[in-house]
Amino acid sequence: MNGGIGRMRLIGAVFVLLSAAIVYQMVRIQNSEHSRQLVEMFAKTYNQQVRVIIPERGNIYDRWGNLLAGNKEVYEVGIAPQQVINPETVARDLAAVLEVDYYDTLRKAESYRKEGNERYEVIKDFVPAEKIRMLEEKVNAYEQAEKPKKGPAPSLVGVFWRPHLIRSYPENELAANVLGFYNYLDRWTGRGMLGLEEQYNNLLAGNKQQVILPMNPTEIQEIPEIPPGASLITSLDRDIQAAMERIIDQAVEANGAESGTLVVMDPKTGEILAMATTPHFNPNEYWRYGEVFPLGSYFNRAISQLYEPGSVFKVLTMAAAIDAGAVQPETPFVDVGAIEVGGIWIYNWDRGAWGPQDMVGCMQHSLNVCLAWVAQELGPTQFYKYLQDFGIGRYTGIDLAGEQVYPLSLPGDTNWYPVNLGTNSFGQGVAVTPIQMITAIAAMANDGKMMAPHVVKAYIQDGVQYAVNPRVIRQVVKPDTARTITDMLAASLENEASNALVEGYRIAGKTGTAEIPGPGGYTSMTNASFVGWGPVDDPRFIVYVWLEKPTSSPWGSVVAAPVFSQAVEELVVLMKIPPDEVRQQLASP
């Protein structure tokens, strides 16, 4: 009995090995050089070709159905030499309309008569529809004209055009840094590059199909129809995106900044409503990519460029300390202008001493010394545990290709020193991206729940729409902590009459000014930023502003805070958010 089972297992193993060998041989043969040569010989001998039928690429829409990326019909124009009646007309008209070489076209048009060539010859690809209409008008004119008394009649017989699709971005530069691009000039192996086009390439592209077709399009009887790729509905709002791009462009120019980034998120869902970065890029002309983004620069700074954030990071430090019970808003602190951490002295941004403060005052005046003390009260174990929970040093997982991350140095690492506890508390010595910062701080506007940031709201496949549901990453702080931080930051803006305030709306927020490290230490250039959310009683948005190396002023309160205010003034209109007083009256019984 046992011997029979053993033989059956042996036979089964032999069959498995044989099947694997057959599959291996099939793959090897299909991808071998000999196989490629056979396909080429088949095409030359039988005037046929192995054609990959590419399905229509899926569209990309904003949240309201406005088309951001779609497809446009263009044409391939070619000649069937054996059908050409008047080579001179063919060469003359194609050269004039398509702007191709007359003599090369004439040679191809005469190739059947002179060489017996029956192969279909492509003259030009990616021809716009208006050019085809011009050719059609000539065809109609020749058909209606009287035949000449001598010589061949003008004729475009033997000229054919067949349509195909290219990627099209009807809004040109709008949201290009989010969309990415599709290298459509490569008709057979093109793929999505960067942004959504790369992240969702397989879904957008659909499934290709390989068939054998005559090279002469006049001999093609039927091309198989295959389903299109899936379409994406994004969380972007076209009007908000356009407004934010305009605002950040103006801010970069007005402040002489090297670049600008402005991100708007719904803190309750993690949906990105707008993501505006500079410089801009037109994906319809994707081959100019290198002119706009030289080697070493980033396509989308919001997710790819790492930088030291400065004082906006204090929101996380204070939230962690309050959540752990290390301090409370009313906790007193006497600022003497300096504090020693790990044997190194830390100073305030103005090198001044601010005297008696509470935690609201520490945040309002953005006191480095106070926040370093707060981090010490919290202790390194808890401090870095909270930072990890906030996602510092970790990918947010946003659904865009190209996200970068820098590891967070932790106690025990070779590159961590005791002074890091102090400097990290106010955003120095730690590298983040804007998407990491807005994702972490958005938890303050969402009762302590940190949501996964995402750009795709739904996708449509085979006529069915599938929703992408919001996802909670984790509860990083308690709801009471989040509301306390919100109230503290709203009060600090009001107490200092901040440039970030918006009339009629109570806003919470924090400035950031960070020196930029260089090879020999910190330079005089800064990163100026501001993060804010509102309305504080029912947050509908959180906005992150970052201006890189502004020359008008180094301070986030001067440079970035007014940009935030401008952004919110537009947002409340576009999002139809009434002023606080009106909303509260409507809500009251």
- The predicted pLDDT at position 224 comes to 67
- pLDDT > 70? residue 44: no
Which residue did the predictor score with more confidence, 274 or 164?
274
Average pLDDT score over residue span 268-291: 95
- pLDDT > 80? residue 310: yes
In the structure encoding, which two tokens stand for residue 72, read together? 């446009």
Topology of domain 238-282+306-587, CATH: Beta-lactamase (3.40.710)
- pLDDT > 90? residue 433: yes
- The predicted pLDDT at position 215 comes to 59
pLDDT digits 0-9 by tens, 341-399: 999 999 998 899 999 999 999 999 999 999 999 999 999 999 999 999 999 999 999 99
- pLDDT > 60? residue 29: no
- The predicted pLDDT at position 145 comes to 85
Average pLDDT score over residue span 519-524: 82
Residue ranges per structural domain of the chain? 50-234, 238-282+306-587
pLDDT digits 0-9 by tens, 112-131: 888 888 888 999 999 999 99
pLDDT interval class at 36 (50, 70, 90): low
In the structure encoding, which two tokens stand for residue 13, read together? 């193993």
Topology of domain 50-234, CATH: Penicillin-binding protein 2a (Domain 2) (3.90.1310)
Residue from 210, 236, 240, 242 nearest 223 by CA: 210
- pLDDT > 70? residue 16: no
Residues forming beta bridges with residue 461, ordered by sequence position: 464
What letters, b where the CB count within 10 A reaches 16 and e where it falls short, cover 487-507? ebbbbbbeeeebbbbbeebbb
- The predicted pLDDT at position 517 comes to 87
pLDDT-wise least confident of 158-162, 183-187, 192-196: 183-187
Average pLDDT score over residue span 303-317: 96
- pTM for this model (two decimals): 0.85
Provide Rg for the chain, Cα atoms: 32
- The predicted pLDDT at position 18 comes to 58
Residues forming beta bridges with residue 529, ordered by sequence position: 512, 546
Element (H, E) at 178: helix 176-179
- The predicted pLDDT at position 587 comes to 72
Alpha-carbon distance of 325 to 345, in angstroms, equals 26
Q: Which residues contact 12 (CB under 8 A, 6 or more apart)?
A: none
pLDDT digits 0-9 by tens, 174-185: 999 999 999 998
pLDDT digits 0-9 by tens, 441-470: 999 999 999 999 999 999 999 989 999 999
- pLDDT > 50? residue 27: no
- The predicted pLDDT at position 297 comes to 80
pLDDT-wise least confident of 87-91, 93-97, 278-282, 584-588: 584-588
- The predicted pLDDT at position 313 comes to 97
pLDDT interval class at 148 (50, 70, 90): confident
Average pLDDT, the chain: 90
Element (H, E) at 523: strand 521-534
- The predicted pLDDT at position 22 comes to 57
The answer to whether 432 touches 392, Cβ cutoff 8 Å, is yes
pLDDT interval class at 208 (50, 70, 90): confident
pLDDT digits 0-9 by tens, 533-565: 999 999 999 999 999 999 999 999 999 999 999
